[in-house]
Amino acid sequence: MRAASGFHPVGRVMAWLRAHDPELAATRRAVRAAVVMPGLFALCSQVFHAPAMALYAAFGSLSMLLFVEFTGPMVQRLRAHVGLGAAWLVFICLGTVAARENWVAVTLTVVIGFVVLFSGVVSSVLAGASTALLLAFVLPVSTPAPQSVLPDRLAGAGLASVAALLAISLLWPRPAADPLSAPAARVCRAAAAQLRSDASRLAHDAEAASVRACRETADRAAVAAADLRAVFGATPYRPTGLSTSSRALVRLVDELTWLSTIVADSAPPPVEQPLCDPEAHAVRRAAAVVLERTADLLDAPHGAPEALRTAMTRLRAAMDRMERSATALLPAHLPRPGTQAEVRAFIGVLDLSFRAQELGFATLRIAGNVDLAAAAERRSWPERLLGLEPGGPGRPLASARARALAHLTPGSVWLHNSLRGAVGLGVAVALVKATDVQHSFWVLLGTLSVLRSNALNTGQNAIRALAGTLVGSVIGAALLQLIGRHDTALWFLLPLAVLIAGIAPAAVSFAAGQAAFTVTLAILFNIDQRPDWHIVLLRVQDIGLGCAVSVLVGVFLWPRGAAAAVHRALAEAYTDSARYLAGAVEYAMGRCGTHPSPAETPLAESREAAAAARRLDDAFRGFLAERGAKPLSLANMTTLVTGIVGLRAAANAVLGLWQRSDERDEGTDRAEAGLVLLHSAGRVTGWYEDLAASLARHSAVRDPMPHSATAEASLVASLHRDLRDADGRASDTAVRIIWTVDHLKAARRLQPSLAAAARHDGSPSSR
């Protein structure tokens, strides 16, 4: 019993760590740094007797093991660390050379600071490594030294890079699980289960699940979709890289969100018995199989893709059969003029097939993305090392260029943050050059650590940094006074200090991390030196200067931060997505054959809508990451952000519907139907453009569009020449036009919730 009770403190510590450090991620990083950093520092200072090498080995190992943790397969992580190590060597050379001339140092700091911070928009790998990369330049540029010291600096950084590679691969390696794959697979399986139960009820199957069972299945699907969005939004930047698999998995989040909405909306009513449509039920079941095979490939990306591809082929065949059979569902005779019930019944006969078509299209897009991601995971070692992607060698570069250009706009939050950080570092370098403060790189560390996306958060972080540094200074001074000249005690305390400094920011607080880091530096700079507790006071002074620079820059450069930019980003996203939907409908009319030459595929509109959605995502993440009370309702803001997914999905669906059409002008007159369709699209997209203007100007929001029985009657009347051709054969164009209108209705159904969310976030009343 005594032996067991002796382990109680250890058990309590581990329980506390698991509660405050999910998956022990920070603890893992801290343990590695506590083992590697003191060892390298001892090797360089005690064996090689090279102080510069020891300093750069210590800070290099801290940077590469504490300030960054790459995810993904081990090969991918090793490649990222090799790149980080190479960047350290380049930045050390640039910083050492630039430090000799003050104006060069300031100018190059601003340029490199902006490039490093802005490059994070391209990849989450670069975003996560930005602090480590900046430290590689800040350290040499703030400490001028003769060129003869450069080899020692490079040797120290090189040792740190090699040690980091060994540590991440051998010392408590992180599991190679993708954070999005498991929740995405759960969404696929939950949606497949709901599709099967719904298809059984719609087909009046004797063994169909009860209404309660169907509702429980739907609830599980909704919970799985919400969990996926929560995982996706849990980081301050999009969890994506330039690889094909990373890009595909991030697209998968939006597509699964929209699929979950479609599945929920298409569930059969609990009482009414809709018309039976065997082909539509077959599409639902085929889509369920595809989703199950998709989940299997998400769980085991190295598995064989043949089962998924076979299921996708069967789903396409089922959709083709359904589209051909849908023409037979349309009544041969038009409703009588003025009979709204007959008009609604006429269009309603295609509801089941439309829902099945919508589900099938969304499912195929999801399966295609997962198949592409799995193909990237199955690459050979040479292909991985060379960076060859299944989509071709130019795809990552093209994607990087598109992402960067999407944020080179005045309203981009990422651009604002990058400029703010670069200017802040430049001002800090100018300050240390003008004042000749001791340990001047601490000023830059203080600037870098507290500068956030708005002035309020920067000020709050400055207070926390100063408070934490002050507490750490008191502790450090007390330790130095207590230990005196006993270097052996300092060597024993150094790993413990590094361990606590690595765990504290994540498990306790930012201020606690600053305190622990101050103690670590106090120990590090007093080993083999006469104990000097004044060094901790110098750190308080230097951190104070860095915080002052951060607050000053935060006040003058976009002080309102992401909260001010998120409405502007929403307005841009809704405007561009509405234009994309309008372009997709115009393309549809070109495919109808009513124009002399078919309309071009709206690729430019699609790219602009995607770019605006990325800018919105980054603005929203910045809004979530900002501390303090939110000036906007998180629930309403989430509703508005998710609405962009639905609007773009409707445009994608219209485009995909007509891209599969092989029918051209066959002598039937579709001009009137085209005008009605374009008019309907104009009304829907016009509402979204008005919503965008209201969000941008904080003006009154229009009421949602009401159901238009007149528009439906006009549509049905316009199709009388297209229901049958001259030989009496059915045409599928009428079905596609009605389905296009249904996609526009799906976009219209989003309007009530979006209008309500916009009004509750501070916009005036309706107009």
Residue that has been written with the tokens 């606690």 in this structure:
512
Share of the chain above pLDDT 90, in %: 25
pLDDT at 64: 94
Most confident segment among 318-332, 404-418, 484-498: 484-498
Residue 625 has pLDDT above 50, yes or no: yes
Summary mean pLDDT of the chain: 79
Please check whether residue 183 is in contact with residue 227, taking contact to mean a CB–CB distance below 8 angstroms. Answer: yes
pLDDT of residue 270: 54
Q: Which tokens go with 647?
A: 């609007």
Question: 358 versus 719: which is more confidently predicted?
Answer: 358
Q: How far apart are CA 651 and CA 362, in angstroms?
A: 12
Most trustworthy range by pLDDT among 209-213, 392-396, 436-440, 572-576: 572-576
Q: Say whether pLDDT at 292 is over 50.
A: yes
The pLDDT score that the predictor gives to residue 94 is 96
**The pTM is what?**
0.75
pLDDT (mean) for 61-82: 85
> Range with the lowest mean pLDDT among 155-159, 182-186, 200-204, 379-383?
379-383
Query: Which of 274-288, 432-446, 644-658, 661-675 has the highest mean predicted lDDT (pLDDT)?
Result: 644-658
Distance from C-alpha of 319 to C-alpha of 361, rounded to nearest angstrom: 9
Task: pLDDT band for 598, please (50, 70, 90 cuts).
Answer: low
Q: Which two tokens stand for residue 367?
A: 């399966």
The mean per-residue pLDDT over the stretch 137-144 comes to 91
Name the residue with higher pLDDT: 31 or 372.
31
Residue of 607, 648, 633, 756 lying closest to 257 (CA atoms): 648
pLDDT of residue 730: 52
Amino acid at position 222, single letter: A
When pLDDT is cut at 50, 70 and 90, the band that residue 684 belongs to is very high
Rounded alpha-carbon distances, angstroms, from residue 38 to 163, 312, 499, 532: 12, 55, 11, 20
Q: How far apart are CA 434 and CA 443, in angstroms?
A: 13
User: Using CA atoms in the order 497, 502, 504, 505, what is the torsion angle rounded to 10 degrees?
Assistant: 140
382: pLDDT strictly greater than 60:
no
pLDDT tier for residue 477 given thresholds of 50, 70 and 90: confident
* More confident call, 552 vs 439: 552
- Tokens (6 digits) for 308: 């998924």
The answer to whether residues 576 and 606 touch, using CB atoms and an 8 Å cutoff, is no
Burial class of 316 by CB neighbour count within 10 A (0 to 12, 13 to 18, 19+): middle
Dig out the tokens for 551 from the structure.
Answer: 């607050």
Summarised one tens digit per residue, pLDDT across range 721-732 is 555 555 555 567
Question: With 80 as the cut, is the pLDDT of residue 621 above it?
Answer: no
Of the ranges 281-295, 641-655, 731-745, the best mean pLDDT one: 281-295
534 pLDDT exceeds 70?
no
Burial class (CB in 10 A: 0-12, 13-18, 19+), 265: exposed
Decide if pLDDT at 693 tops 80.
yes
Question: Is 60 exceeded by the pLDDT of residue 87?
Answer: yes
Mean pLDDT is lowest, of 260-264, 562-566, 614-618, for 562-566
Tell me which residue of 421, 410, 453, 424 sits closest to 624, measured CA to CA.
453
**Confidence at 47, pLDDT banded by 50, 70, 90:** very high
Residues whose CB falls within 8 Å of the CB of residue 671, separated by 6 or more in sequence, listed in order = 594
Q: According to the per-residue pLDDT averaged within each range, which of 208-217, 218-227, 308-317 is highest?
A: 308-317
- Residues 322-368: pLDDT tens digits? 887 776 666 655 555 555 555 555 665 667 788 888 888 889 989 98
Helix (H, G, I), strand (E, B) or coil at 724: strand
- Tens of pLDDT, residue by residue over 694-703, are 988 888 889 9
pLDDT of 412 strictly over 90: no
Our CA dihedral for 71, 72, 78, 80, rounded to 10 degrees, sits at -60
